[in-house]
């Protein structure tokens, strides 16, 4: 008998590529069923919601006017090759005797703590320092934008936004972090007054909010209003966020520093992660 969803769940239907993007962001163990002989149904649960898509099985012509046979067949092949083997695993871990297995841990998937740190000067791309104890890292992208939104990284004298994108090649869980403002930089920012220097942070910025991305981890903070002697802007997560790499940039974090045109101040960002 084909799987039917309980009416207790809010049901959200997608085409496969959109479903895949949502799953990459939200996580969970995917489930699949093709017992009705017509559709390959794929879904995952996210709290009170079930997110699913339908693909027509071989021998069943596509009848959706907004979904071509070619796209259906491409999606079905991609699912079979890349996702099917991850489906229908146990959602709740159990011991060998069938009892629920309870594990107390800070994170869901990872085990090793790792503090990532980036220091930089705004409006100065060459200032970025991003290194492990032994190796220079290349997983932070530094970009400058002017007031019109144009990319002025190569000539940042008119930059009013400095943007850092962190996107490593590995999966990780972020549990919090902070930004330190050195005494000299903080004094300059305070002297400029409120309303000129802000920092904010977004999770998974390349995916629209409607699909679970563009998550505002930190709303805009006016750096000039941070008290002297306490120049640390801290964000500690009440719940960890698991971020894994994909073609949809689902493990990217973004920091946006707004500042006067060409403003140059030193800052240092710390990201508390598990890998």
pLDDT tens per residue across all 275 residues of the chain: 678 888 888 999 999 999 999 998 887 889 999 999 999 999 998 888 999 999 999 888 898 999 999 999 999 999 999 999 989 887 666 565 656 665 556 677 788 899 999 999 999 999 999 999 999 999 999 999 999 999 999 999 999 999 999 999 999 988 889 999 999 899 999 999 999 999 999 999 999 998 888 989 899 999 999 988 877 888 876 557 788 889 989 999 999 999 999 999 999 999 999 99
Sheet containing 232-243: give its strands across: 124-129, 113-121, 266-274, 172-180, 232-243
Strand order, beta sheet including 49-56: 10-14, 49-56, 39-46, 31-33
b vs e for 21-35, b when ≥16 Cβ sit within 10 Å of the residue's Cβ?
bbbbbbbeebbbbee
Q: What are phi and psi of 178, to 5 degrees?
A: -160, 170
Q: Is the dihedral of CA 84, 87, 88, 94 positive or negative?
A: positive
What does the pLDDT read at residue 19? 95
User: What is the structure's pLDDT at 6?
Assistant: 87
pTM reported for the whole predicted model: 0.65
Place of tokens 């895949």: 20
Q: What DSSP character marks residue 131?
A: B
Site of tokens 């409120």: 194
pLDDT at 157: 96
Helix (H, G, I), strand (E, B) or coil at 175: strand
Domains of the chain: 10-86 (no CATH), 113-274 (2.60.120)
What letters, b where the CB count within 10 A reaches 16 and e where it falls short, cover 116-153?
Answer: bebbbbbbbbeeeebeeeeeeeeebbbbbbbeeeeebe
CB 2 within 8 Å of CB 41: yes
């Amino acid at each position: 008998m084909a799987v039917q969803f309980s009416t207790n769940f809010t049901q959200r239907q997608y085409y496969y590529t959109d479903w895949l993007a949502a799953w990459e962001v939200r996580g969970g163990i995917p489930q699949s069923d093709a017992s009705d002989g017509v559709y390959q149904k794929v879904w995952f649960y996210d709290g009170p919601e079930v997110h699913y898509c339908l693909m027509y099985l071989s021998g069943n012509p596509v009848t959706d006017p907004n979904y071509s046979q070619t796209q259906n067949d491409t999606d079905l092949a991609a699912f079979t090759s890349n996702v099917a083997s991850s489906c229908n695993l146990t959602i709740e871990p159990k011991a060998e005797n069938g009892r629920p297995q309870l594990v107390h841990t800070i994170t869901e998937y990872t085990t090793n703590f790792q503090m990532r740190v980036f220091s930089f000067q705004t409006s100065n791309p060459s200032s970025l320092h991003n290194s492990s104890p032994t190796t220079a890292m290349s997983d932070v992208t530094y970009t400058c934008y002017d007031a019109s939104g144009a990319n002025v990284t190569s000539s940042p004298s008119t930059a009013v936004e400095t943007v850092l994108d962190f996107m490593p090649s590995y999966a990780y869980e972020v549990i919090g972090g902070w930004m330190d403002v050195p005494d000299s930089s903080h004094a300059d920012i305070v002297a400029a007054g409120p309303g000129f220097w802000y920092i904010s942070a977004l999770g998974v910025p390349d995916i629209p909010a409607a699909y679970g991305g563009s998550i505002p981890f930190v709303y805009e903070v006016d750096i000039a209003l941070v008290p002297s002697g306490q120049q640390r802007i801290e964000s500690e997560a009440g719940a960890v966020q698991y971020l894994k790499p994909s073609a949809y940039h689902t493990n990217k974090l973004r920091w946006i520093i707004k500042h006067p045109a060409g403003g140059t101040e030193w800052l240092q960002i710390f990201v508390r992660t598990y890998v």
